[in-house]
């Protein structure tokens, strides 16, 4: 099945992903994990909500944690170029018959809320409060030294439909996985900012959030984090890695936070800004797709994910599965 084509002249200009909005059940426990162990910087907090940014980020937040009764993903945020793009987005989604609404979000300007056709809650804004730079305040660097948010990965029950939706918004496929037995697209990595992806779409029970990823300075930062996790009570939170992906060529580690949200630490992928860059195809059954060194993922990696709040899930249309450990 051919990949849906990207729209190189989209109806509005998305610059990049912006932030993830997650619900956690114990805010103090999550605060300790993300701030003290991982090293994200707190920019604001109260009894119900904590905002974080990475060490290179000038905008107010890349991660929001909200206290709630059950873990969930509340929204995925994207930044558009200017206020006019927000208005164009409202027109575009309204013409598609999508529900759209203007919502209030602290530290952000006007924010438009909608959903993708499969139900992922999406937010778009053009402005967020700016903060002083801290990237040279090396006394703040701890944990894995997270510099910035890098991407989202979501389970989709219909990956081709998801590619079509994001492709119309100007996201371009950099790499994808094909099930050679059926010639169907099983997963795709799509970008706006010039890395391998701002969002990835993986076949599975969906929509669900597979993971949020943060860019870190070097693979050695990941090794340091592993030592810290292993000696501070979090060894059981290590799910997969360290390793180097075949797909994206990035060095990676996946951990689960105290509520089970999957977080990736990621570095060393490649530049993708050329508009005519051809997507790289991988065979679903190739173990080097998962890890260049040949190690396959555990079953939890393809089975477990975070539900989106108030969003029903559907079984995937494609039933194929990659090799995995037992």
Task: For 135-178, write each residue's pLDDT tens digit.
Answer: 999 999 999 999 999 999 999 999 999 999 999 999 999 999 99
Does 119 lie in the same domain as 49? yes
- Residue 191 shares a structural domain with residue 81: no
What angle (nearest 5°) sits at the alpha carbon of residue 152, between those of residues 178 and 314?
65
Residue 110 and residue 35 in one domain: yes
- pLDDT at residue 2, as a whole number: 77
Confidence of residue 258 (pLDDT cuts 50, 70, 90): very high
Residue 326: band (very low, low, confident or very high) from pLDDT cuts 50, 70, 90: low
**Residue at token pair 């340091």:** 224
Query: What is the arithmetic mean of pLDDT over 236-252?
Result: 98
Other residues' Cβ atoms within 10 Å of the Cβ of residue 140: 12
Same domain, 192 and 300: yes
Other Cβ atoms within 10 Å of 98 Cβ, number: 15
Element (H, E) at 288: helix 287-290
- 64: alpha, beta or left, given left = phi > 0 and alpha = psi -120 to 50? beta
274 within domain boundaries: yes
Q: What is the CATH number of the domain that holds 257?
A: 3.10.180.10
Query: What's the confidence (pLDDT) of residue 1?
Result: 64
* CA–CA distance, 246 with 249 (Å, rounded to integer): 5
Tell whether 111 and 177 lie within a shared domain.
no
Dihedral in degrees, nearest 10, Cα atoms 241, 243, 244, 250: 50
In-domain check, residue 212: yes
List the single range of 43-47, 179-183, 192-196 with lowest mean pLDDT.
179-183
Query: How is 232-268 classified by DSSP, letter by letter?
Result: TT-GGGEEEEEEE-SSS--EEEEEE-TT--EEEEEE-
CB distance 75 to 21 below 8 Å: yes
Instruction: Please tell me whether residues 106 and 163 are part of one structural domain.
Output: no
- Evaluate whether residue 5 is within a structural domain: no
What is the residue-averaged pLDDT of the chain?
97
Quick: pLDDT tens for 292-323: 999 999 999 999 999 999 999 999 999 999 99
Query: 122 forms bridges with which residues in the sheet?
Result: 76, 114
Distance between CA atoms of 121 and 25, rounded to whole angstroms? 20
CB atoms within 10 A of CB 101: 9
Residue-range definition of the domain harbouring residue 42: 14-130
Measured over the CA atoms of residue 25, residue 26, residue 32 and residue 37, the dihedral's sign is negative
What whole-number distance in Å separates Cα of residue 93 and Cα of residue 110?
16
User: Final residue of a domain: which of 130, 154, 187?
Assistant: 130
Based on the domain organization, do 189 and 276 belong to the same domain?
A: yes
Long-range contacts of 162-165 (CB under 8 A, 24+ apart): 162/116, 162/117, 162/118, 162/188, 162/201, 163/3, 163/4, 163/188, 163/190, 163/201, 164/4, 165/116, 165/117, 165/118
Residues 148, 126 share a domain: no
Q: How many domains does the chain divide into?
A: 2
pLDDT, residue 228, reads 97
CA distance 256 to 44: 23
Cis peptide before 242 (omega within 30 of 0): yes
Residue 322 domain flag? no
**286 located within any domain:** yes
Chain centroid to CA 165: 17
């Amino acid at each position: 099945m051919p990949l849906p084509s990207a729209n190189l002249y989209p109806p509005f200009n998305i610059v990049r992903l912006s932030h993830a909005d997650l619900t956690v059940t114990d805010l103090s426990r999550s605060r300790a994990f993300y701030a003290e162990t991982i090293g994200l910087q707190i920019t604001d907090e109260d009894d119900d909500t904590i905002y974080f940014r990475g060490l290179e980020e000038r905008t107010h937040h890349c991660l929001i944690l909200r206290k709630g009764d059950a873990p969930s993903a509340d929204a995925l945020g994207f930044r558009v170029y200017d206020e006019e793009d927000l208005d164009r987005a409202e027109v575009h989604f309204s013409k598609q018959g999508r529900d759209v609404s203007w919502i209030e979000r602290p530290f952000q300007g006007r924010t438009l809320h909608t959903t993708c056709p499969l139900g992922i809650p999406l937010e778009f804004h053009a402005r967020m409060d700016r903060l002083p730079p801290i990237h040279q305040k090396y006394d703040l660097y701890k944990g894995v030294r997270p510099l910035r948010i890098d991407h989202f990965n979501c389970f989709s029950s219909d990956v081709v439909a998801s590619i079509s939706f994001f492709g119309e918004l100007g996201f371009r496929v950099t790499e994808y996985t094909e099930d050679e037995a059926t010639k169907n697209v099983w997963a795709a990595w799509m970008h706006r900012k010039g890395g391998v992806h701002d969002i990835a779409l993986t076949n599975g029970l969906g929509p669900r959030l597979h993971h949020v990823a943060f860019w870190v300075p070097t693979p050695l930062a990941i090794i340091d984090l592993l030592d810290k996790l292993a000696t501070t009570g979090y060894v059981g939170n290590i799910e997969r890695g360290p390793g180097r992906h075949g797909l994206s060529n990035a060095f990676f580690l996946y951990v689960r936070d105290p509520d089970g949200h999957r977080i990736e630490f990621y570095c060393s992928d490649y530049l993708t800004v050329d508009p005519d860059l051809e997507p790289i195809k991988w065979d679903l059954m190739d173990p080097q797709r998962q890890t260049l060194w040949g190690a396959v993922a555990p079953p939890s990696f393809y089975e477990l994910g975070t539900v989106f709040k108030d969003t029903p899930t559907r079984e995937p249309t494609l039933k194929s599965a990659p090799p995995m450990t037992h």
